[in-house]
Structure 1
Amino acid sequence: MPPITTPFVFATTPSIVFGAGAIARIGALAADRLGPRVLVVSDAGLVAAGLVAPAIAALEAAGSAVALFTDVVADPPEAIVEAAAAAARAHDATGIVGLGGGSSLDVAKLAALLAGSGEPLADAYGVGKAAGPRLPLLLAPTTAGTGSEVTPISIVTTGAHTKMGVVSPLLLPDVALLDPDLTLGLPAPVTAATGVDAMVHAIEAFTSASPNANPVSKALAREALRLLGGAIADACRDGADGAARGAMLLGSMLAGQAFANSPVAAVHALAYPLGGRFGIPHGLSNALVLTQVMRFNLPAAEAAYAALGPCTFPDCPADAGAFIARLETLCAEIGLARRLRDVGVPEDALDLLADDAMGQTRLLVNNPREVGRADALAIYRAAW
């Protein structure tokens, strides 16, 4: 084996707590870090489902005064982020808890940043632009997909069809609390889409051309795919399968650690315009273009894809084409739409999507093979 001499940096959430029922121990686990006044950021659906009440009860039992912000929506716009930060300031919050899917966690991150620092949101967009400090922060995911609890990234909808990101180590929370019970009963379509999103994180981290691509991320990506590939179909079939839910949640977190340090690439770059233009959920957007991007990448990533096949599916040969085919079979098995036309994307929109994708330079630069506009259009056509 050749020596590893390329320098890299690996950063992640400093404290990770995993276990069924862990949310009921949030007070004992984190009240000291969060301080006496805590804002919980979530959404109305999770409150109605009863998933937020145990966290509030545990925090209050530990002596915290708790306020609740529940206005988070999918693909949160700037106004929601600003409202959450205002709620934190109004409560004089000493700490923030984000409980929910990726949108809730992203809003919680930015609420902690804006309330803690007073900086304008517009000044924080980009890589390393956030000034800080932020308020103490705990994140508890209720889906197994985004890995936001271990990533230094928050995505905000900034216009009718545009998104921008805040990327900063300041957004890594103090604690990630992973409770598989919070994901029990998640509907199969959401389980499928978010699960494939996590698999894409691992695949793109493993093949990333980022200067910070590193052996730690590669090892985490392989283990993430082992867990996710072995559990996603079971979790979709039986929403109460605790073992599958635990494997999904842990796999999603490991994939998040991997891509937080070895960033994602063209799959995400082509997926974002699908969400921005047509409101397609992020995980499904990734699934719709995943295998076509992989086929495009074969000249540069064939060996890497071949290595990932047996990691993800034990009976898959070490062959890139076989791995791609197995991913397509999996997506069909778990009920995901397979073609852009199936989710309402008209053929005459493909040129516009290609234009939008070329604006995702932060992501495209990490792709193992250079993507031009004609390439993006060809990928969309193949996926249509």
Structure 2
Amino acid sequence: MSSFVFQTTPKIICAQGAALRLDELAGSFRAKKIFLVTDQGVLNAGIAAEPIAELQRFDIQVTVFSDVQADPPEGVVLRAVDAARAAGADMVIGFGGGSSMDTAKLVALLACTPQSLGDIYGIGLATGPRLPLVQIPTTAGTGSEVTPISIVTTPTSEKKGVVSPLLLPDVAVLDSLLTLGVPPAVTAMTGVDAMVHAIESFTSRHKKNLISDALAIKALQLLYANLREVVENGSNPDARENMLLGSMLAGMAFANAPVAAVHALAYPLGGHYHLPHGLSNSLMLNVILRFNLPFATAAYAALGRAVLPTEATSPDAQAAESFVRAISELVSAMPYAQSLNAAGVPRDAIPLLANDAMNQQRLLVNNPRDIALDDAIRLYEAAF
């Protein structure tokens, strides 16, 4: 663990009301034509109205692209790129959840340096430069504001990632006031998504390092301590801010020590049944924690001691078991579907899902325990 490379977003602004000071960021990049990427839900909720008006007050032209869809399809990404070029954009802002921020990353890259999207799926294949990029999350979940990853849905319903340091944003803006209106179910899904990032980063078999470990632990402490509060009392700005910070720290961690089987088995659920990414992760989390437990006892014990004061001096086996049980109980109490069946996934889809999950070897190799096709089938059956 002594030899590693750690990269993250170079500037982070965390302040309530920070989204109303974007003119200062635009000025620092000498930007006069901003391309703002969001989705229709965010736009209709009015969350972006004041930040946009504030930019326009300083004679900054803002072009809004609001056609982003969950698990953004290639076609949507390419339409956004064309729109940014047509607008003459000199800066891109991702404003919304992970799908908007992932789309914004590719817009900033491809609008500046044209290249085939299909040619840059994978690690380190993209070429730059890109336009200046600012990311503003309106949910506490993906951590996309500090990751060099953009996930896209291909025409064959497969999720593929572009992974490149070029996708790291220049600035991340964390403004908890933007998250106050997020509904309880979405708050819960995105919060669990962030917890998965922290857990899988900490247990990753590849690129795990001292910095990612420290970030993952602090992230999980913030998320575990605040998730119930924000689900039950979404108007608490301080708890919302803690969730944003936890999500961001988890994003920093997994951007450098990558995620594993929970994501690998979640991706086909999103690709084929369009389940929200946080829900897909949540549906697979408990069964995979239990599956990994014999091979991740020491790591789960460390996480257990970090979030459960009663386990501070417990032996590994007890602390690890307590951790798996505590996470499972927390996730099971969240206000959304708790099984594949309840989420509308048919049982006869399990072989298809398992086969698709096996294509996610980029992620599966990071899991503490090897997963073969038969294992994937059993895990989906356990989650059904």
The DSSP-based 3-state class of the residue aligned with 2:342 is helix
Q: Which amino acid aligns with 2:55?
A: L
Residue number among 269, 283, 298 corresponding to 1:303 in the alignment: 298
The DSSP-based 3-state class of the residue aligned with 2:56 is helix
Once the two structures are superposed, the pairs formed by residues 165-184 of structure 1 within 5 Å of their partners are 165-184=161-180
Computed over aligned residues only, the root mean square deviation of the Cα atoms, in angstroms, reads 1.3
Q: CA deviation at 1:54?
A: 1.8
Aligned 8 A contact 1:76 1:156 in 2? yes
Matched residue, 1:226: 221
Matched residue, 2:335: 335
Q: Mean alpha-carbon deviation: is it higher for 218-227 or for 320-329? A: 320-329
Q: Which amino acid aligns with 2:376?
A: A
Cα deviations by residue, 1:215-245 (Å, 9 ceiling, x for unpaired): 1000000000110001000000011011110
C-alpha distance in 2, partners of 1:169/1:300? 31
- Where does structure 1 lack aligned partners over 5 or more consecutive residues? none
C-alpha distance in 2, partners of 1:100/1:265? 25
Cα deviations by residue, 1:157-188 (Å, 9 ceiling, x for unpaired): 11242111110000001000010011002000
Matched residue, 2:325: 325
Matched residue, 2:260: 265
C-alpha distance in 2, partners of 1:148/1:307? 26
2:196 maps to 1:187:
no
Cα deviations by residue, 1:57-79 (Å, 9 ceiling, x for unpaired): 22223332211111111111111
Q: Which amino acid aligns with 2:366?
A: N
Residue number among 50, 56, 68 corresponding to 1:72 in the alignment: 68
- Normalised by the size of structure 2, how large is the TM-score? 0.96
Cα deviations by residue, 1:291-327 (Å, 9 ceiling, x for unpaired): 2111211222111111111323444565111111111
Aligned 8 A contact 1:39 1:69 in 2? yes
2:90 maps to 1:81:
no
Change (3 A) 1:266 1:91: same
Residue number among 88, 95, 99 corresponding to 1:99 in the alignment: 95
Aligned 8 A contact 1:39 1:96 in 2? yes
Count of equivalent residues: 379
Matched residue, 1:55: 51
Q: Mean alpha-carbon deviation: is it higher for 358-367 or for 61-70? A: 61-70
C-alpha distance in 1, partners of 2:269/2:86? 36
Once the two structures are superposed, the pairs formed by residues 254-293 of structure 1 within 5 Å of their partners are 254-293=249-288
Once the two structures are superposed, the pairs formed by residues 1-384 of structure 1 within 5 Å of their partners are 5=2, 7-33=3-29, 35-210=31-206, 212-315=207-310, 318=314, 319-384=319-384
Aligned 8 A contact 1:350 1:380 in 2? yes
Q: CA deviation at 1:122?
A: 1.7
Aligned 8 A contact 1:147 1:198 in 2? yes
Aligned 8 A contact 1:99 1:141 in 2? yes
The DSSP-based 3-state class of the residue aligned with 2:125 is coil
- Normalised by the size of structure 1, how large is the TM-score? 0.96
Aligned 8 A contact 2:95 2:135 in 1? yes
Q: Mean alpha-carbon deviation: is it higher for 63-72 or for 194-203? A: 63-72
C-alpha distance in 2, partners of 1:139/1:133? 17
Q: CA deviation at 1:30?
A: 3.7
Q: Which amino acid aligns with 1:215?
A: L
Cα deviations by residue, 1:111-159 (Å, 9 ceiling, x for unpaired): 0000010112122211101011110000000000000000000011112
The DSSP-based 3-state class of the residue aligned with 1:341 is coil
Change (3 A) 1:356 1:266: same
